[in-house]
A = this chain, B = another copy of it.
Amino acid sequence: MPVFNAPRRDHAFVLFELLDAERQWAGLPALSAVDRELAETIIDTAGKVAEAEFLPLNQSGDQGGCSFEQGQVRTPAGFRQAYRAYSEGGWVGLGGEPEFGGQGMPKMLTVAIEETFFAANPSLYLYPALSAGAALLLAYHAAPELQATWLPALYDGSCTGTMCLTEPHAGSDLGLLRTRAEPQEDGSYLLTGTKIFITGGEHDLSDNIVHLVLARLPDAPAGTRGISLFLVPRNLLDEDGRPGQRNAVTAGAIEHKMGIRGSATCVMNFDEARGWMVGEAHRGLAAMFTMMNYERLSIGLQGLGAGEIALQTSLDYARERLQGRAPRRSERTDGPADPLIVHPDVQRMLLTQKSYTEGGRAFAAWLGLQLDLARHGEDATVRRQAEDLVAFLTPVAKAWFTDRGLDCTVLAQQVLGGHGYVTEWGLEQYVRDVRIAQIYEGTNGIQAMDLADRKTARDQGRMAGVYADQVAAFIDSDDCPPGWRDTLTGLLEQFRQSTAAIVEGAAEDPDWAGAVACDYLDLVGLLSCAWLWALAAGRAQAALDAGSTETAFYRAKLATARFFLLRQVPQGQVLAQRIALGSEGLGVDALN
């Protein structure tokens, strides 16, 4: 009995009350046609599609799973119809290029939509989510002919996209990959090799599939600087541009997995499959990072969505289930027992979920805004600053949201007790489904090393400084409620000291950045959520002071912010303390 109503009110609060979306869009010519009314209509409609088409297939899709026979993948019952409803609604191209049939909506808005679909049915949503990422990659890096051929098909859903990176011996270390691409006289290439863990590598939802494949040219240097990127359609196009003859790319098997069982995770065999190069030779990994960064934020939203549906389901249960007596006599009912929600430990589990998920939602939208500024900003300084913030914070959003997503689903399951462990209520599926989000698109450990090593140590803390300045400016502004100022200042100082420790430590000790990477990422996640909760508390108080009648909504914001301030922010000191240790206490001595 999963409970999910798209959190429309909270999305509107984040966009229009926290982040002044209308003013932001008005300042960017590419987005100036978007206003609050349009955005709220899109949020509402997406919610309806998610609730009516995606949610009812979440449990049945898990139970039925995908089946595989002779190279064909059959998705769970109902997925085809739901996918059709989704693609006919134009949702794949929501953030896509208007020139090719996309709708050019701001990323700041589309993050809300992505979260909504991920919450309602992550297995089903993965198919079009990858299409959107593939389209973004092509929009940035492909030659105009390839764009004209493939973008409209991706946007209208008649074709889906995949990213083919991992090979059996090359996971986090892509430099080891072996798939080869032989140039042909007509300018195309023939690709040969095996890719594993390919999400949506084969399925029955669309007429065609286009694979974006990392491979090596014959003359390629070893390592990551010898990797090129190719577009390989499952079906080659006929003279009319319609999917025709099968290309030599086939699914060899699908994986049996802990969760996301409605999503086909395929072994893909390329046997002289025809493809076309995207971008420059040997620069494929850089191009693929366009898609990977998009997908990283997207996967972070999978974590947020899981947190939202977990919260809604467990909150509903905690209100209904009568068990035990309220500690306070004044809260006791006349019945034989009181609802679970009266117990402080249950409140702790629910508030943890709510504070992480709503705090993360604000952070995601703010990061979406930075992506919009980086892309559409008219001023080069603005664009550069936004690019720095995106580079620094994308790994944080991916790992922090998904780690907290697991925490939230586990807490929600715990609220239900034994009923959370049996399949009937759906909670155990949320845990299994969100668990992958900490692993794919680069494990959260890889995200942390990207942040601590590449984006901090090697960058000498420059991007970290750009980020710290943002938070500092907020603390000094009228937006920061007085009651938050000291705590935020302390947390920011812990962040600055930790950054300095990493930059200095890494210069002396090659193990430094890796040793503290996960703690540093958690510290940035914590600071980002704390800052946005402070902003939310200030805006909620202002609304109440202005006489808003939505008192329950705004009081809930204030109470959740206070919970986060009092009970989550103190973790920062332990993180900072561990970061100061560098690699002390680690090593292989204990592991022999």
Chain A positions within 8 Å of B, measured between CB atoms, are: 166, 169-173, 175-176, 196-197, 255-259, 265, 315, 318, 322-324, 327-329, 336-337, 341-351, 354, 406, 410, 413-414, 417-424, 428, 431-432, 435-436, 438-440, 443-445, 448-449, 510-511, 513-515, 517-518, 552, 555-560, 562-563, 565-567, 570-571, 573-574, 577-578, 581, 583-592
Could you tell me if A345 and B563 are in contact, using CB atoms closer than 8 angstroms? no
With A344-B583, A414-B439 as given contacts, are A354 and B574 in contact (CB-CB < 8 Å)?
A: no
Could you tell me if B176 and A337 are in contact, using CB atoms closer than 8 angstroms? yes
For this complex, 9 residue pairs linking A to B, each with C-beta atoms less than 8 Å apart, are A171-B419, A196-B418, A344-B514, A351-B590, A354-B590, A418-B440, A431-B435, A555-B590, A574-B574
Could you tell me if B418 and A556 are in contact, using CB atoms closer than 8 angstroms? no
Could you tell me if A417 and B570 are in contact, using CB atoms closer than 8 angstroms? no
With A347-B586, A354-B591, A556-B592 as given contacts, are A414 and B445 in contact (CB-CB < 8 Å)?
A: yes
| Total copies of the chain | 2
Could you tell me if B256 and A560 are in contact, using CB atoms closer than 8 angstroms? no
Could you tell me if B515 and A344 are in contact, using CB atoms closer than 8 angstroms? yes
Could you tell me if B590 and A422 are in contact, using CB atoms closer than 8 angstroms? no
Besides the known contacts A176-B336, A347-B591, 14 further A-B residue pairs in the complex with CB atoms under 8 A apart:
A172-B417, A173-B323, A176-B337, A196-B418, A315-B591, A344-B517, A345-B448, A345-B515, A345-B517, A348-B515, A417-B443, A421-B435, A559-B590, A566-B584
Could you tell me if A518 and B587 are in contact, using CB atoms closer than 8 angstroms? no
With A422-B257, A428-B258, A439-B417 as given contacts, are A514 and B345 in contact (CB-CB < 8 Å)?
A: yes
A566: which B residues are within 8 A, CB to CB? Answer: 578, 581, 584-585
Q: How far is the CB of A87 from chain B (nearest CB, A)?
A: 28
Could you tell me if B567 and A585 are in contact, using CB atoms closer than 8 angstroms? yes
Question: For chain A, what secondary structure do more than half of its interface residues adopt (helix, strand, loop), or is it mixed?
Answer: helix
Q: How far is the CB of A86 from chain B (nearest CB, A)?
A: 25
A413: which B residues are within 8 A, CB to CB? Answer: 435, 439
- Chain B residue, CB-CB nearest to A336: B176
Q: How far is the CA of A400 from the CA of B175 in the complex (A)?
A: 41
Could you tell me if B258 and A589 are in contact, using CB atoms closer than 8 angstroms? no
Q: How far is the CB of A401 from chain B (nearest CB, A)?
A: 16
Q: How far is the CA of A344 from the CA of B439 in the complex (A)?
A: 18
A172: which B residues are within 8 A, CB to CB? Answer: 323-324, 417
Could you tell me if B432 and A258 are in contact, using CB atoms closer than 8 angstroms? yes
Partner of A258, one of B255, B431, B556, B591: B431
Could you tell me if B591 and A514 are in contact, using CB atoms closer than 8 angstroms? no
Partner of A414, one of B348, B444, B511: B444
Partner of A590, one of B445, B556, B591: B556
Q: Nearest 8 pairs between A and B by C-beta? A: A559-B590, A258-B428, A344-B515, A327-B510, A559-B589, A566-B585, A344-B514, A560-B590
Q: How far is the CA of A393 from the CA of B323 in the complex (A)?
A: 25
A422: which B residues are within 8 A, CB to CB? Answer: 255-258, 265
Q: How far is the CA of A517 from the CA of B348 in the complex (A)?
A: 10
Q: How far is the CB of A386 from chain B (nearest CB, A)?
A: 29
Q: How far is the CA of A435 from the CA of B423 in the complex (A)?
A: 13
Could you tell me if B438 and A328 are in contact, using CB atoms closer than 8 angstroms? no
Q: How far is the CA of A574 from the CA of B576 in the complex (A)?
A: 12
- Chain B residue, CB-CB nearest to A327: B510
